[in-house]
């Protein structure tokens, strides 16, 4: 009965290392291209693959350019 699911009661506490999903949303002006395109984590800038966590939408504009972007971060680390 092998299971790959993580039991939250036995998983190690992540208190010492802030998770990417806990990092406050940046300003739309500070996003890297890949971050604004939803391809990189907005906290650590790693390329996202599967399991990315949707963080919401950041807003901004620069002249006539709309910088609004849907942003994502890494899933919780698998330990
Ligand atoms: Zn990350």
DSSP state of 21: G
Q: What is the pLDDT of residues 9-66, one digit of tens each?
A: 665 555 567 789 999 999 999 899 999 999 999 999 999 999 999 999 999 999 999 9
For residue 2, the CA-to-ligand 1 centroid distance in Å is: 28
Task: Decide: residue 26, CB within 10 A, 0-12 exposed, 13-18 middle, 19+ buried.
Answer: middle
CA distance 73 to 47: 9
Contacts of 25 (CB under 8 A, 6+ apart): 42, 55, 56, 58, 71
Residue 78's pLDDT band (cuts 50, 70, 90): low
Q: Check: pTM over 0.75? Answer yes or no.
A: no
For residue 11, the CA-to-ligand 1 centroid distance in Å is: 19
Residue 73's pLDDT band (cuts 50, 70, 90): very high
Determine the 3-state secondary structure of 71 from DSSP.
Answer: strand
* Position with higher pLDDT, 9 vs 73: 73
For residue 10, the CA-to-ligand 1 centroid distance in Å is: 23
């Amino acid at each position: 009965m092998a299971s790959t699911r993580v039991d939250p009661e036995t998983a190690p506490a992540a208190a010492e290392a802030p998770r990417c999903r806990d990092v406050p949303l940046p300003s739309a002006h500070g996003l890297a291209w890949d971050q604004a395109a939803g391809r990189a984590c907005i906290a650590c800038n790693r390329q996202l693959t599967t399991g990315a966590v949707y963080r919401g939408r950041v807003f901004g504009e620069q002249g006539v350019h709309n910088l609004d972007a849907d942003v994502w971060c890494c899933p919780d680390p698998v330990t």
